[in-house]
Structure formats: C-alpha cells, structure tokens
C-alpha cells in the first residue's frame, strides 16, 4: 500500500523537472507588451501615430516645432497595447527549456488601432528564472 502512495508523487516530481515554460502565462504576456512599449523605436506605435487623424488635428493646431514634438511624444506615451487572446506555440525544446511563440499585438493611439504579429521566445534557466526576448518587427 505504501508503494502505491509514492508512485504518483514520483511521477509528479519527475514531470516537473523537465517542464518548459509556456507562451500564454500572464507574466509572459505582460513582459512582451512592456518590452515593445518601452522601445523608443517602436515601428508599430509610430505607424499608429502617423495615421491618426486626431493626432494630425492636434499637430495642425501647434504653432512651434517643440509643441509638435510634445504632441507626438504624448501620443506615443499614451498608446494602449494589447496582446491578442490567442498565442501560438511555434516550437518547444524541452532540452533547452524554451518555447518560441507568436501572437497579434494591437496598439491604439487616439482613433487608430494598428496590429502586427509579434514573435517572442521564453526560456527557463536551470535556476528557474524566466527570460523573454522579442524579435524585431519586420516591415
């Protein structure tokens, strides 16, 4: 009887050691959005700013270059980001404890929402720490 009670525990422990991270964890999603939103050369937000009629109207009322720059900067900082509910796992490496993933990222600036597929990689180090990297956008 004692052996039967141990078997599930042993299977559970052996299953945990070789696990790989997942694409769709809340922390992963938040980190992907933060990496992109913190990028000062973010092409997706620049596209949304350039195509926003609301931003264009504010720019047409600006009198100086510094006012225009302030409007553009405020629009970029005020952008709202969202990663789509569906995240795909493209590949999984148990040996490297890594997954590559893709999902649609949306950015909204005033009256414009732009979207672009984003690719990212989630890796788990031997000490359990997770690292996330985002591939640059290809336009």
Residue with tokens 């509910």: 85
* Ordered structural domains, the chain, with CATH: 20-134 (3.10.450)
| Rounded-to-integer distance, Cα 89 and Cα 121, Å | 10
pTM of the model: 0.79
Tokens of 29: 């999603």
| Rounded-to-integer distance, Cα 51 and Cα 65, Å | 19
Strand partners, 32: none
At 3, is the pLDDT very low, low, confident or very high (cuts 50, 70, 90)? very low
**Residue 58: enclosing H or E segment and its boundaries?**
helix 53-60
Q: Is 104 exposed, middle or buried (0-12, 13-18, 19+ CB in 10 A)?
A: middle
Tokens of 100: 């590559």
Q: What is the mean pLDDT of residues 114-136?
A: 93
Q: Are 137 and 44 in contact (CB under 8 A)?
A: yes
**Mean pLDDT score of the chain:** 86
Q: List, for residues 89-98, the tens digit of each pLDDT value.
A: 999 999 999 9
Nearest to 120 by CA among 108, 110, 133, 131: 133
pLDDT of the residue at 10 = 28
Q: What is the mean pLDDT of residues 39-64?
A: 94
At 137, is the pLDDT very low, low, confident or very high (cuts 50, 70, 90)? confident
**Number of neighbouring beta carbons within 10 Å of residue 43:** 15
Beta strands 112-124 and 98-109, pairing class: antiparallel
Q: What is the mean pLDDT of residues 118-123?
A: 96
Q: List, for residues 77-114, the tens digit of each pLDDT value.
A: 999 999 999 999 999 999 999 999 999 999 999 999 99
């Amino acid at each position: 009887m004692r052996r039967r009670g141990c078997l599930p525990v042993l299977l559970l422990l052996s299953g945990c050691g070789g696990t790989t991270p997942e694409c769709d964890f809340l922390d992963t999603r938040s980190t992907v959005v933060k990496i992109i939103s913190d990028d000062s050369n973010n092409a997706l937000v620049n596209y949304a700013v350039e195509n926003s009629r609301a931003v264009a109207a504010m720019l047409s009322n600006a009198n100086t270059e510094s006012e225009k720059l302030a409007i553009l900067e405020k629009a970029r900082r005020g952008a709202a980001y969202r990663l789509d509910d569906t995240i795909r796992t493209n590949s999984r490496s148990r040996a490297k404890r890594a997954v590559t993933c893709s999902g649609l990222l949306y950015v909204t600036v005033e009256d414009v929402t732009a979207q672009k597929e984003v690719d990212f990689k989630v890796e788990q180090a031997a000490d359990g720490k997770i690292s996330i990297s985002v591939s640059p956008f290809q336009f």
